[in-house]
Amino acid sequence: MSAAAASPPPPAAAGEHPRFHLRGFLSPETCKELEFVHRSCGTAGYRPSVVSTSLPHLAATGCGHLLLPFVPVRERLRDAVESAFSCHFDLFIEFTGLISWCKGASIGWHSDDNKPYLRQRAFTAVCYLNDHGKDYKGGILQFQDGEPSFITPVAGDVVIYTADNSNTHCVDEVTEGERLTLTLWFTRDSAYDEDPKLLSFLSQTSLNYEPVHQSSYIPLPASDIMYWFAYDHSGFDIRCARVHILGFSFHTSIDEDNKSVAPAEDDPIELLGKPVRLGRGDDVFDKVFANGLHALQVSTYFHFLSSFSLQIMSIRLQ
């Protein structure tokens, strides 16, 4: 695990639109490591065309070991925000999430505290984990007033700003590729501190799961939440779409002893909450997963692992 790059604290914020662009805040290795976590464990996002990995999700699905790379990054970001906005020892982290913005994702003009249930948010930090122009097109962050008026994402850079309407912003549509960010929101209200929630999930998973599962390092099943993305009067199940992109298909058992299987394309929401198997071409693998999400997480994990090893191999062999 690599240490994050050292960077001087930003000067204290002044002006009507307090924001900072911190260049090279995260090392390339840290960006890659966070990307690895997201590829292994990302689930349906909070908006169409967005996939997210939140820390409570990692803690609740037995992936507590994958929280480690976030620990120093969160602390450094909190320090940077506190010194930029002169509020030392005043902030709690309210939300930490890896978010990938797939083709078609965008967000219109808004401030980050613009809903009654978001009023506790005081500051935002967005860390860019990959590069505009190289990894995707579109996805520029724009601010309505003040300077800088836009940010072109570069891996390792961070933008921090107040969550109120002095920093109204939007993100242009991603037109190609996938834009990856680590986003944190900070609050002054300890009732919204994310850490006690994480500790509670971590203690629940360590109490509930057998040690044999704990040592496997394979993600455990997540709760069967919403995976349906409405699209043009119809929609699709994100689990089916992602497993299909990886070259697999879901199959469900049609008998008690799991010997006969059928493709799980009809009525996926119902079927994917039950035990499933993965198929590739005409083959169906023996392993029975707890549900569709579990099968997706494991296939994503191995897919990323294999592409990651190939990348490392080609770097080493150059």
Q: Summarize as ranges the residues that interact with ligand AKG (CB under 6 A).
A: 107, 112, 126, 141, 169, 171, 181, 183
Residue with tokens 């860019």: 128
For the bound state, the minimum distance from the C-beta of residue 170 to ligand AKG, rounded and expressed in Å, comes to 7
Question: Strands 150-151 and 141-143: what pairing?
Answer: antiparallel
Instruction: Pick what 114 binds: ligand AKG, Fe ion, none; C-beta below 5 to 8 Å, kind-dependent.
Output: none
The owner of tokens 């929280």 is 67
Name which of ligand AKG, Fe ion, none residue 141 binds, using a CB cut-off of 5 to 8 Å depending on partner kind.
ligand AKG
Q: Which of 33, 67, 43, 5 is nearest to 225 (CA)?
A: 43
Residue 105 touches which of Fe ion, ligand AKG, none (CB < 5 to 8 A by kind)?
A: none
Q: Which is nearer to Fe ion, 112 or 157 (CB)?
A: 112
Query: How many CA atoms within 13 Å lie on the side-chain side of 145?
Result: 10
Q: Which two tokens stand for residue 146?
A: 């003040």
Q: Measure Cα distances from 262 to 259, 267, 276, 283, 284 in Å.
A: 10, 12, 10, 12, 10
Max alpha carbon distance in the chain (Å)? 68
Interaction site with Fe ion (CB under 5 A): 112
* Alpha carbon separation from 98 to 2, 41, 143 (Å, rounded): 18, 10, 22
Closest residue by beta carbon to Fe ion: 112
Q: Considering the complex, what minimum distance in angstroms separates the CB of residue 171 from ligand AKG? A: 5
Residue 134 or 244: the one with the smaller Cβ distance to ligand AKG is 134
Distance of CA 219 to the CA centre of its chain: 15
Partner touching 300 among ligand AKG, Fe ion, none, CB below 5 to 8 Å by kind: none
Residue number, 112 or 237, with CB nearest to ligand AKG: 112
Nearer residue to Fe ion within complex by CB, 21 or 242:
21
- The rounded distance, in Å, linking the Cα atoms of 297 and 89 is 37
Q: Which residue's Cβ lies closest to ligand AKG?
A: 141
Q: What is the closest distance, in whole angstroms, from the C-beta atom of residue 155 to ligand AKG in the complex?
A: 13
Helix (H, G, I), strand (E, B) or coil at 56: helix
Residue 187 site contact among Fe ion, ligand AKG, none (CB < 5 to 8 Å, cut-off depends on kind): none
Instruction: Kindly state the smallest distance separating residue 111's Cβ from ligand AKG, in Å.
Output: 9
Nearer to ligand AKG among residue 61 and residue 167 (C-beta): 167
Closest among 24, 34, 27, 36 to 2, alpha carbons compared = 27
Of 181 and 291, CB closest to ligand AKG: 181
Residue 172: CB minimum distance to ligand AKG, A: 10
Binding partner at 163 among Fe ion, ligand AKG, none, C-beta below 5 to 8 Å by kind: none
Residue 94 binds which one of Fe ion, ligand AKG, none, with CB within 5 to 8 A depending on kind? none
Q: Which is nearer to Fe ion, 27 or 144 (CB)?
A: 144
Which residues, at least 6 apart from 125, have a Cβ–Cβ distance to it below 8 Å?
A: 77, 80, 81, 158, 159, 160, 183, 184, 185, 186
Residue 136 CB, nearest distance to Fe ion (Å)? 18
